[in-house]
Amino acid sequence: MNKADRAAYIDQKLEELFPETPIPLDHTDAYTLLIAVLLSAQCTDVRVNQVTPKLFKKANTPKKMVKLTVQEIEDIVRPCGLAPRKAKAIHTLSQMILDLHGGEVPGNFEDLEKLPGVGHKTASVVMAQSFGVPAFPVDTHIHRLAQQWELTNGKNVDQTEKDLKKVFPEDRWNKLHLQIIFFGREYCPARSCDGLSCDICKTCFPSRKRKKEYKRS
């Protein structure tokens, strides 16, 4: 298979396996999604979903969040790791949303990426899932699988994002990035596939004999 054929097969296979793609992080609106994604950095979605109910019970809007101290936020989000940094970012970005955006999460990449703790990946998730803007957030699962499927050279996550946007239709990006994550977790985890075991790897690369090494970003 060439790259275009692989992309078409992968697209079809993932749609068959995961026709529904619920967002793994529990949230109720753009603001709570933004906070949940920020907390998910170097933390599992499961752990974030255990922590956010307590946080959002106290503060589920920017106005309520800034009434908490940074220490109060830190005490709640500590199980997510990097708590001092994340707590400060949550408090500061909440104040910025109030001061600069009328209390509403901005619906564009430029303003989102100016918020502390919000990188391109976090902004992409919010833009895709809260505002319906085509985006292709690249996490570790996607970065790894894109290399295993030889859709990118894996130089870095920015390049992986660009390469994936080239081979998949724009109207599939928002759903497909979740489908790839789900597939990586369920069928092609890093510890048990290595480009040799899952159905997609075997179908796309039937003659592959060696484990596929991938570059971490």
Q: What is the pTM of this model?
A: 0.93
Q: For the chain, which domains are there?
A: 3-20+136-204 (1.10.1670.10), 30-131 (1.10.340.30)
For the chain, 217 residues long, give each residue's pLDDT as a single digit of tens: 899 999 999 999 999 999 999 999 999 999 999 999 999 999 999 999 999 999 999 999 999 999 999 999 999 999 999 999 999 999 999 999 999 999 999 999 999 999 999 999 999 999 999 999 999 999 988 999 999 999 998 789 999 999 999 999 999 999 999 999 999 999 988 777 778 888 999 999 999 988 877 777 6
Catalytic residue annotation: 121, 139
DSSP string, 70-139: HHHHHHHHGGGS-HHHHHHHHHHHHHHHHHHHTTS--SSHHHHTTSTT--HHHHHHHHHHHH--------
The amino acid that residue 108 corresponds to is N
